[in-house]
Amino acid sequence: MDPDVSADGLIAELLDMGFDFDAISAAVGAVGPRRAEVLELLLGGSAPRAGQEGRRGGGVPCRPAPSAARPRPAGKGAKLPNPRGRLRQSSITDHVGSATGGRKESGREASTSLPCSSAPGDPRVPVGADFCSKLGPQSRSLVENSTGESDQMDRVSAVLQKHFGFSCLKSFQKEVLDAWFAHRDCLVLAATGSGKSLCFQIPALLTAKIVVVISPLISLMHDQCLKLANHGISACFLGSGQPDSRVEGKAMAGMYKIVYVCPETILRLMEPLKKLAEKPGIALFAIDEVHCVSKWGHDFRPDYSKLKFLKHDIPLMALTATATIPVREDIIKSLKMSKDTTIVLTSFFRPNLRFSVKHSKTSVSSYGKDFQELIGTYNASRKGQQIIHENDTDSERSSYESWNDSASDYEDENVDSASHGDKNVGKTKTSMSVVKENIENELDLYQGVDDFDVSCGEFLECSRPESSKSPAQSNQTSSSECGDQGPTIVYVPTRKETVEVANFLCKSGLRAAAYNAKMPKSHLRQVHQQFHCNDLEVVVATIAFGMGIDKSNVRRIIHYGLPQSLEAYYQEAGRAGRDGKLSDCTLYCNFFRAPTLLPNKRSEEQTKAAYRMLRDCFHYSLNTSTCRAKILVKYFGEDFGHDGCRMCDICTNGPPQMHDFKEEAIVFMNVLQGRSGGETEDMIYSSVPHYSSGRRGFGDVPNFRMVVSHIREKVCCN
């Protein structure tokens, strides 16, 4: 039972949540200022009407009516409904078709020409910048009052300040909320770290209804629920295979303001959702990381495509930071979003991310050189703490030695031969399809929702799970292990390398941990927790540690090996610098290492798309003349203008020094045409070390410099 609170305080709080004043006073009159019981009355529909105080349970069921923000099917000028009005939300059966036979409402599909409600404008304006503080007074009032719905915005400001401590919405957030107020579907395309979550969290605070969020990963739902609880907002998540009927039952009875559900689970919950839509009502279906809907996206999740049955007299809000134009079109089509869907598009540019590409073997032999700077950075930053941590480091080290033992299991999978493209090619007799399977087994192509070993979690307002500091807390680095440096995430292509690199870093004195989908879930949870609490300096991960992670002070993202797509790259790079401070995103790549994305179990079309994505990664990495940020945002269909970011390796170093290879080229052409005085291509290659073995597979090509220097010798001799 809740401790007694002042009746006024409770009434104010419940009014804030959107309950009807009469219903609240009646309920408080009936059971006293006891929060849980009053809530139960209000949500259970048994709150006595005014004048019926004291007759608990005996009154006419009284559904709480929202005091504001009941979305109306009207344009921007829509007025708020009468706060006392009893607007009946149509039953979910009216708009949620059967999971199998979800029919499309005629004419509801959006045009795929993607009108843009918000021009990106100058891409160098920081994405999602706090507009109120950046614009002059005139523009400011435009942002706040352009709809004439100052009362709506007043309420938004109040909850924003009260629950999140922010003084102002970002302009794109306001547009998204306007769409919700107008009861429209909305596709939100906004940069990583821009604050998309707030767009679906705020509606939960403006009405007595519930917001249902479909999210791809348990770990992500867990993080968000924890944060919401710390902001005084009740939330829970329902995952697949975790039928905790208690939490699920409470969620479906409307006890949590925000209910996170994985796409698999929502299918199972259709019936309870119908009831929830009737009482207390569903304010919004939000689909986070919605690029997972599209098989052209980088992280296709088949279960996302089943969400098309979510029809929307309940508005649908679909959000992502990484959708190319074809993926956006696919999202709208796949989800059958309505014709008047509002598309809120911001610049994808992240002005504080400094991109660079380095060439490296990306193998054990290059760890020392490549990670030297990282190791030096952390060791220098905590010199004074060295003695304190020596023991801890030892224990960390020994734990990683044991991981390394288990990692030797991977040795049998022959993945080295394909993914490193060097050692074992000749030795492996395995057929290609088996190798592919093993590689896919080794890669975290996409992760299931069940990535965490927590049962359906409930997070009550202000509750703090004992064993964990909140992510919000953890964003303050004062007493952190990583000092001022902020943590680093190193992304590697295979699970095996997560352990190898983490092991190497631990042995070099860093507090590092490996993270991949095949590790015990308890370990993954611990890594998450330590990462959020700044107890780890480096997390070495596959793509399993990426989407949506919101930690403000990540200072470095290192990709140690080519990613599978630029979307995945930008999504992962987007974990850096979410506090707006300068952060580095470095890609180390070895062009002689075979790509790790070897398609399996995909259609021919998807295979082609996968190779196209890889090709774009190659272009990005091989590029020597165009600003990195420019290439990245262009990939998402954005015109960056003429200037570069002025920070990336290309912008700062300029294109590489030009060399005149004319003579070498002539010799080379002669060789190819068999006009080199009898010297054939084979003769040139045969004298190049490592190439005389006769094997010419990918990864066995001779070192280009060696060939050039050999040709040079020939040029000099002739």
Ligand X SMILES: Nc1ncnc2c1ncn2[C@@H]1O[C@H](COP(=O)(O)OP(=O)(O)OP(=O)(O)O)[C@@H](O)[C@H]1O
Binding site for ligand X (CB under 6 A): 130, 166, 169-170, 173, 190, 192-198, 321, 548, 550, 552, 574, 578
The residue (of 194 and 477) whose beta carbon lies closer to ligand X is 194
Select the binding partner of residue 231 from ligand X, Mg ion, none (C-beta < 5 to 8 A, by kind).
Answer: none
Sole residue written with tokens 């999978």: 413
Q: How far is the CB of 551 from Mg ion (least distance, A)?
A: 12
The residue (of 192 and 363) whose beta carbon lies closer to Mg ion is 192
Select the binding partner of residue 321 from Mg ion, ligand X, none (C-beta < 5 to 8 A, by kind).
Answer: ligand X
Q: How far is the CB of 632 from ligand X (least distance, A)?
A: 14
Q: How far is the CB of 552 from ligand X (least distance, A)?
A: 6
> CB count, 10 Å around CB of 497?
31
Q: Which amino acid is at 191?
A: A
Q: How far is the CB of 4 from ligand X (least distance, A)?
A: 33
Could you tell me if 550 and 601 are in contact, meaning their C-beta atoms sit under 8 angstroms apart?
no
Select the binding partner of residue 193 from ligand X, Mg ion, none (C-beta < 5 to 8 A, by kind).
Answer: ligand X
**Cross-strand bridge partners of residue 557:** 489, 585
Sole residue written with tokens 């939330």: 235
The residue (of 457 and 574) whose beta carbon lies closer to ligand X is 574
Q: How far is the CB of 194 from Mg ion (least distance, A)?
A: 9
Select the binding partner of residue 21 from ligand X, Mg ion, none (C-beta < 5 to 8 A, by kind).
Answer: none
Select the binding partner of residue 194 from ligand X, Mg ion, none (C-beta < 5 to 8 A, by kind).
Answer: ligand X
**Cross-strand bridge partners of residue 514:** 540
Select the binding partner of residue 685 from ligand X, Mg ion, none (C-beta < 5 to 8 A, by kind).
Answer: none
Rounded Cα distance, 227 and 219, in Å: 12
Q: How far is the CB of 26 from ligand X (least distance, A)?
A: 36
The residue (of 106 and 133) whose beta carbon lies closer to ligand X is 133
The helix (run of H) or strand (run of E) holding residue 8 is helix 7-16
Q: How far is the CB of 110 from ligand X (least distance, A)?
A: 22
Q: How far is the CB of 196 from Mg ion (least distance, A)?
A: 5
The residue (of 305 and 552) whose beta carbon lies closer to ligand X is 552
Select the binding partner of residue 351 from ligand X, Mg ion, none (C-beta < 5 to 8 A, by kind).
Answer: none
Q: How far is the CB of 197 from ligand X (least distance, A)?
A: 3
The residue (of 163 and 496) whose beta carbon lies closer to ligand X is 163
Could you tell me if 155 and 69 are in contact, meaning their C-beta atoms sit under 8 angstroms apart?
yes
DSSP state of 30: H
The residue (of 321 and 505) whose beta carbon lies closer to ligand X is 321
The residue (of 40 and 461) whose beta carbon lies closer to ligand X is 461
469, with CB counted inside 10 A (0-12, 13-18, 19+), is middle
Q: How far is the CB of 583 from Mg ion (least distance, A)?
A: 17
Which residue number has the CB closest to ligand X? 195
| Assigned token pair, 597 | 């994305």
Select the binding partner of residue 456 from ligand X, Mg ion, none (C-beta < 5 to 8 A, by kind).
Answer: none
Select the binding partner of residue 578 from ligand X, Mg ion, none (C-beta < 5 to 8 A, by kind).
Answer: ligand X
CA distances from residue 672 to 155, 663, 664, 712 in whole angstroms, order as listed? 74, 14, 12, 16
The residue (of 130 and 244) whose beta carbon lies closer to Mg ion is 130
Q: How far is the CB of 618 from Mg ion (least distance, A)?
A: 28
Kindly give the interhelix angle for 196-206 and 171-181, rounded to the nearest 10 degrees. Answer: 40
Q: How far is the CB of 539 from ligand X (least distance, A)?
A: 16
Q: At residue 502, what are phi and psi to the nearest 5 degrees?
A: -60, -40
| Assigned token pair, 204 | 């939960």
Those residues whose C-beta lies under 8 Å from the C-beta of residue 138, and which sit 6 or more positions away, are: none
DSSP state of 576: S
Least Cα distance to 471 among 540, 531, 524, 557 occurs for: 531
Q: How far is the CB of 227 from ligand X (least distance, A)?
A: 8
**Cross-strand bridge partners of residue 675:** none
Rounded Cα distance, 265 and 267, in Å: 5
Could you tell me if 236 and 445 are in contact, meaning their C-beta atoms sit under 8 angstroms apart?
no
Sole residue written with tokens 């994405």: 127
- Mapped onto helix, strand or coil, the DSSP state of residue 459 is strand
Q: At residue 308, what are phi and psi to the nearest 5 degrees?
A: -65, -15
Q: At residue 296, what are phi and psi to the nearest 5 degrees?
A: -90, -5
CA angle 532, 537, 540 (to 5 degrees): 90
Which residue number has the CB closest to Mg ion? 548
Select the binding partner of residue 590 from ligand X, Mg ion, none (C-beta < 5 to 8 A, by kind).
Answer: none
Rounded Cα distance, 112 and 179, in Å: 18
* Buried b or exposed e, range 17-34, using 16+ CB within 10 angstroms: bbbbebbbbbbbbbbebb
Task: Name the residues that contact Mg ion, by CB under 5 A.
Answer: 196, 548
Q: How far is the CB of 379 from ligand X (least distance, A)?
A: 29
DSSP 191-237: -TTS-HHHHHHHHHHHSSSEEEEE-S-HHHHHHHHHHHHHTT--EEE
The residue (of 201 and 564) whose beta carbon lies closer to Mg ion is 201
How do 258-261 and 458-459 pair as beta strands?
A: unpaired
- Mapped onto helix, strand or coil, the DSSP state of residue 13 is helix
The residue (of 168 and 418) whose beta carbon lies closer to ligand X is 168
Select the binding partner of residue 577 from Mg ion, ligand X, none (C-beta < 5 to 8 A, by kind).
Answer: none
Select the binding partner of residue 192 from Mg ion, ligand X, none (C-beta < 5 to 8 A, by kind).
Answer: ligand X
The residue (of 421 and 548) whose beta carbon lies closer to ligand X is 548
Rounded Cα distance, 526 and 452, in Å: 10
> CB count, 10 Å around CB of 45?
16
Rg over CA atoms, the chain: 28
The residue (of 321 and 439) whose beta carbon lies closer to ligand X is 321
The residue (of 97 and 471) whose beta carbon lies closer to Mg ion is 471
Q: How far is the CB of 333 from ligand X (least distance, A)?
A: 22
The residue (of 192 and 477) whose beta carbon lies closer to Mg ion is 192
Q: Which long-range contacts does 709-713 make (Cβ < 8 Å, 24+ apart)?
A: 710/684, 711/664, 711/667, 711/668, 711/671, 711/684, 712/664
Could you tell me if 574 and 350 are in contact, meaning their C-beta atoms sit under 8 angstroms apart?
yes
